[in-house]
Structure 1
Amino acid sequence: MNVNSWTICLGAFLAFLAITLMTDNIQWGFVAGLSISVGGFKWLRIKRKEAKEELEYDERVNLNILQCSLYVYSGALVLLLSYLIISSQILHNISINIELLIWYLVITLFLGFYIVPVIIKRR
C-alpha cells in the first residue's frame, strides 16, 4: 500500500470517528486522530528523507536539533509538573481541564517536531 498524506488524513479521520463513536466523547477521538496524523506525517517525512539518500545537514546541525527539541520537551514537562505539584500540594485542588491539557500537549509536540527543527536548520 502506498502511504501518502491523503492516506494518513483518512486514517486519522477514521480513527477520530471510530473512537468518538465508541466512547461517546469527542475528546478521545480528537486525541486518537491527532496521534495518528502527527505520527504518520513524522514517519512520512523520515521516509522521504531516507529516499533522497543525501545528507542535508551535518551531524552538528542534527545534534543541535535534538538538543533544542529536548529543551522544549523538558521545559514543557517541568512547567506541567510544577503546575500539578502546586495545585495538589499547596492549593489542594487539581482542576485540570482535559481540553486545555490536550492543547498543551499538542502545542508542545508541534513545537518539538516541527517549529524547532525549522528554526535550527535556518541558522
Structure 2
Amino acid sequence: MKVNSWAVCLGAFLAFLAITLMTDNIKWGFITGLTISVGGFKWIRIKRKEAKEELEYDERVNLNILQSSLYVYSGSLVLLLSYLIVSSQILNNISINIELLTWYLAITLFLGFYIVPSIIKRR
C-alpha cells in the first residue's frame, strides 16, 4: 500500500475532527491528530530510506545535524530557564501555563528533530 503525505495529513485531520467531536475538547483532538501525523511521517521516512530513495550522508553531515539540534535544544532551555529565573527572582511570581509550556516543548522538539535536520541536509 502506497501512503503519501496527503493521506497522512487527511488521516490526522479526520482523527482530529472525530476525537474533538466525540470528547467536546479540542486538546484531545489535537493530540490525536499530532500523534497520527508524526507517526505517519516517520513511517514514510523509514519506508523511503528502505527503498533507498533518500541519499546517504557522511559523518560530517550527521555531526552537523547533531550539533545544530544541540544548539536548538540548548537555546530553548536557556530561554525557558531565563524566564523562570526572572519570574521567580525579580517578579516574585511564577505563573506558567501548562498548555503553553507543552506547546513550547513540542515546538522545540519539532524544530530539533525535523526542521533543523532537513535544513542541514539540503545545504
TM-score using structure 1 length: 0.70
Equivalent-residue separation in structure 2 for 1:113 and 1:8 (angstroms): 18
Deviates more, 1:113-122 or 1:100-109: 100-109
Equivalent-residue separation in structure 1 for 2:56 and 2:117 (angstroms): 13
Cα 1:78–1:121, aligned 2, differ >3 Å: closer, same or farther?
Answer: same
Identity in percent? 80
Equivalent-residue separation in structure 1 for 2:39 and 2:77 (angstroms): 20
Superposition deviation, residue 101 in structure 1: 3.8
Aligned length: 121
RMSD value, Cα? 2.9
What corresponds to 2:10 in structure 1?
A: 10
Superposition deviation, residue 48 in structure 1: 0.5
1:36 aligns with 2:36: yes
SS in 1 for 2:51: helix
Superposition deviation, residue 53 in structure 1: 6.8
Structure 2: 5+ residue stretches without partners:
none
Amino acid of the structure 2 residue aligned with 1:13: F
TM-score using structure 2 length: 0.70
Superposition deviation, residue 72 in structure 1: 1.3
- 1:95-106 maps to which residues of 2 (within 5 A)? 95-96=96-97, 98=99, 100-106=100-106
1:64 aligns with 2:72: no
Q: Deviations over 1:17-51 (max 9, x none)?
A: 23323432213322321232123213312321221
